[in-house]
Structure 1
């Protein structure tokens, strides 16, 4: 029987065949890393220069929207935006604070960048729900009780406040709550009125904290009571007016037991 061949003997000596070597991916060389870092730094510096140093992204115009009583020029002047400066560096919070401070008629304002050269001011003005006559002029009061403007002429469809306190209950209310609280109650009532009723309301009379009444067009009157349960009273008054359209007096001071009369 023939013995193992020379190749077989060599294989036994060297052991089983080794698996093929897997070449690992080489990490980028130091020079390549340096080049990449330099490129990133240059791109970052270029971006910063475009935003802050170039003339391409500078503030050139200020646009306004949402104004009613105010004019766009008044808003832009009060904002005092720094024209010519990099748009990215404009402090939008400072613009908002400046507008609200200089123009109390502004309830809120949204300041945003309008790339590449603008600032946009979206204004929401306060709406008067009550007027206080003072020295021949009229102080406008919004639904939050903020006195935000004094005007020469009374705006249409905004009722006036009449603080005609009763001797006993009115005086007691004044001592207990103060004029400011009574004013807020009147504002609260005016803000809760149904839209159709609010347009017809000429005066809101405050005799005491619990006795607030309305004078409507056509000589009609409404006993509202206190400022509590305003929404319920508003719904009750709307239904009562539909049920008795020719009535001249309505009482919703107790909304669960409303009443109406011809005069």
Structure 2
């Protein structure tokens, strides 16, 4: 059997090797891929060095905003931001955790990188709504019931708790059913629900039982609040009642749908 002719052999060789232009294009593509890969490696190495190895992007200063009672220096000391460390390596979650642990007065804190050299600490402090007497000192409690600080002087416009639960009658029943901690939480809830104008004038929140919570204002006026339930409705009723009877000395919003006032 005769083998392939010269023409057939040439055709097969041409089909296997392809045209010269195709071979050149393949080699160019390969070079391009190699060049891009090398460039990507070099770029990655450069970025890594810039972020971690260079002196250009390192922590140089820490700013603090939002403080009221706390001082910026107290916040900076508690945060313990590693000045001089690469910006990218700063553990912002760790800083937040340290601040909340060391300074319970802080409610929220936002730790942000301020490129190229700064770390910002945006602080929101807890606001006391009630004071618990602790010997000669006062423990501040926020509207969530968190006891976050003990101070020697009572802050202005924050009422103090008077827990005067009787050991007989409804007071004793409240203690057995709810316990002292629950009654304190109810008082905190009442203080947090007060209208702003009333909260500024409130001096004491007195708890006699779960259903018998009352307020004494700075000018001697009193408010019968009842239980801590329906706090927002009671706040609205009290605001309306005080506008309608500005000369009254006693207000009763224990039933918010039927508020009452008396005295003059």
Specify the alignment match of 2:207 in structure 1. 206
Q: What is the DSSP-based 3-state SS (H/G/I as helix, E as strand, rest coil) of the residue aligned with 2:192?
A: helix
Specify the alignment match of 2:217 in structure 1. 216
Q: 1:46: Cα distance to partner?
A: 0.3
Specify the alignment match of 2:255 in structure 1. 254
Q: What CA distance in whole angstroms lies between the structure 2 residues aligned with 1:70 and 1:140? A: 14
Q: What CA distance in whole angstroms lies between the structure 2 residues aligned with 1:173 and 1:245? A: 34
Q: 1:68: Cα distance to partner?
A: 0.2
Q: What CA distance in whole angstroms lies between the structure 2 residues aligned with 1:252 and 1:40? A: 72
Q: 1:39: Cα distance to partner?
A: 1.2
Specify the alignment match of 1:11 in structure 2. none
Q: What CA distance in whole angstroms lies between the structure 2 residues aligned with 1:182 and 1:113? A: 44
How far does the alpha carbon of each residue in 1:194-242 deviate from its partner, in whole angstroms, 9 at most, with x for none? 0000011110000000100000122110100000000110110111111
How far does the alpha carbon of each residue in 1:180-202 deviate from its partner, in whole angstroms, 9 at most, with x for none? 11111000000000000001111
Q: How does 1:177-216 map to 2 (within 5 A)?
A: 177-216=178-217
- Given the two structures, how large is their TM-score scaled by the length of structure 1? 0.89
Structure 1 segments unaligned to the other structure (5+ residues): 1-22
Q: What CA distance in whole angstroms lies between the structure 2 residues aligned with 1:90 and 1:157? A: 40
Q: What CA distance in whole angstroms lies between the structure 2 residues aligned with 1:29 and 1:195? A: 73
Specify the alignment match of 1:139 in structure 2. 139
Q: What CA distance in whole angstroms lies between the structure 2 residues aligned with 1:63 and 1:228? A: 43
Q: What is the DSSP-based 3-state SS (H/G/I as helix, E as strand, rest coil) of the residue aligned with 1:218?
A: coil
For the pair shown, the structure with the greater C-alpha radius of gyration is: 1
Q: 1:135: Cα distance to partner?
A: 1.0
Is 1:44 the counterpart of 2:44 in the alignment? yes
Specify the alignment match of 2:30 in structure 1. 30
Structure 2 segments unaligned to the other structure (5+ residues): 1-20
Q: What CA distance in whole angstroms lies between the structure 2 residues aligned with 1:261 and 1:228? A: 23
Q: 1:162: Cα distance to partner?
A: 0.2
How far does the alpha carbon of each residue in 1:80-118 deviate from its partner, in whole angstroms, 9 at most, with x for none? 011111100000000000000000000000001000011
Q: What is the DSSP-based 3-state SS (H/G/I as helix, E as strand, rest coil) of the residue aligned with 1:26?
A: helix
Q: What CA distance in whole angstroms lies between the structure 2 residues aligned with 1:189 and 1:29? A: 75
Q: 1:177: Cα distance to partner?
A: 0.8
Is 1:128 the counterpart of 2:140 in the alignment? no
Specify the alignment match of 2:108 in structure 1. 108
Q: Which structure has the highest helix share of the two?
A: 2
- Given the two structures, how large is their TM-score scaled by the length of structure 2? 0.89
